[in-house]
Amino acid sequence: MTKVTIKDLARHLKVSTTTISNALNGKPGVGKKARKKILQMAKEMGYQPNYFAKGLVSKQSHAIGLTIANIADPFSAELARGVYEKANELGYTMMLFNTNYDIENEAKSIEILKSKGVDGIILTTVTQDDPNIDSLNEIQMPYVLVNRLILNPKKANRIDSVSVDDYGSFYKAAKHLCRLGHKNIAVIAGDMDVSTAIALTQGANDAFAEYGVTIPPDLFIECGFSREKAYQAAKAIFLKNKQPSAILIQGDNMAIGVREAAYEIGIKIPEDLSIVGLDDISISSLAGIELTTIAQNQYKMGATGVQLLIDKIKSEDSSGGSRKIVLESDLIIRKTCGYYLKGYVK
């Protein structure tokens, strides 16, 4: 099949190639009706932009990079889908790198993306005091943090980001458990070197304090954002003499691991144990699981991050302040918390 070119469109519509180019690239000088007609004809004739040729002219590759920690985690997969689809919609390709929670892998990914000539990078893997942030600033590579923040105010002022209100998310989750009457609560946390775990923990602790609930040190377990490690953490909790009546878990994928550990030793959910997760991944709503959780729109986070990055790439003013977008979250009440057994008591 012969590739349709701008000249073909111009010939068919009997206008200049300049008019066609301006219409396709959103440039001025083309009326609304004419632009709509040109875009419609381009779609009907199967016109595809030549991004390589455009890159030679604009000195841009129309490619962006994405680093994620674990592609097998449903949270990361949905976020990556949001990045891919929004990038594709805006005429960009996406290169994906899985770091496996390793800062050196993140550095290697950035180097490869730089060598490939990407226009910018979305990072979802950043830790506090991450040296790769300084490297990106030195080479003046446009980047956006998604689902991660740098909490150091001096550094944060220069960084664009898209995140969810993690503090508010776990404040809601902890308050929900307290209102159900729980006092002996365990917390299974991710990696306390990343902003999400730090903010989630702060939010939960503030809610617990309001209800007079104290989490003993041996019932706060940091295990990383892993289903397998959360399974092991739950097993360690269940071996203790005094069992918690509820567990708050910093991820739905982790919560599935906790659920497996509970059922293996005969603990019934929610009759014996209430659990609340975070993220609302697709499996959480399935019959038989029905996990109470905090919904965080991973897809929207990814898509918003792309728009922010491309705005940054196209901006001629690099001296302005950073943009920080914070999305809201929602408590999703299902069976695992026990709400439908007795409702709130506080």
pLDDT tens digits, one per residue of 280-327:
999 999 999 999 999 999 999 999 999 999 999 988 555 556 899 999
Same domain membership, residue 310 and residue 268: no
CA dist., res. 339 & res. 346, Å (int): 12
Same domain membership, residue 278 and residue 317: no
pLDDT of 50 reads 62
Domain membership of residue 53 (yes or no) is no
Same domain membership, residue 96 and residue 107: yes
Q: Are 154 and 320 in contact (CB under 8 A)?
A: no
Same domain membership, residue 277 and residue 313: no
- The arithmetic mean of pLDDT across residues 253-281, rounded, is 97
Same domain membership, residue 192 and residue 246: yes
Comparing 3 with 54, the larger pLDDT belongs to 3
Q: Is the pLDDT of residue 147 over 90?
A: yes
Q: In what order do the strands lie in the sheet with 63-68?
A: 93-98, 63-68, 120-123, 143-146, 160-164, 324-327
CA dist., res. 117 & res. 305, Å (int): 19
Q: Is the pLDDT of residue 56 over 60?
A: no
The domain in which residue 246 lies consists of: 167-296+331-342
CA distances from 141 to 79, 135, 236, 295 (A): 22, 9, 44, 32
For the chain, the domain total comes to 3
Q: Exposed, middle or buried, 322 (CB in 10 Å: 0-12/13-18/19+)?
A: middle
Domain membership of residue 67 (yes or no) is yes
Q: Is the pLDDT of residue 244 over 90?
A: yes
CA dist., res. 282 & res. 6, Å (int): 43
Comparing 47 with 163, the larger pLDDT belongs to 163
pLDDT band for position 52 (cuts 50, 70, 90): very low
Q: Is the pLDDT of residue 92 over 80?
A: yes
Same domain membership, residue 154 and residue 15: no
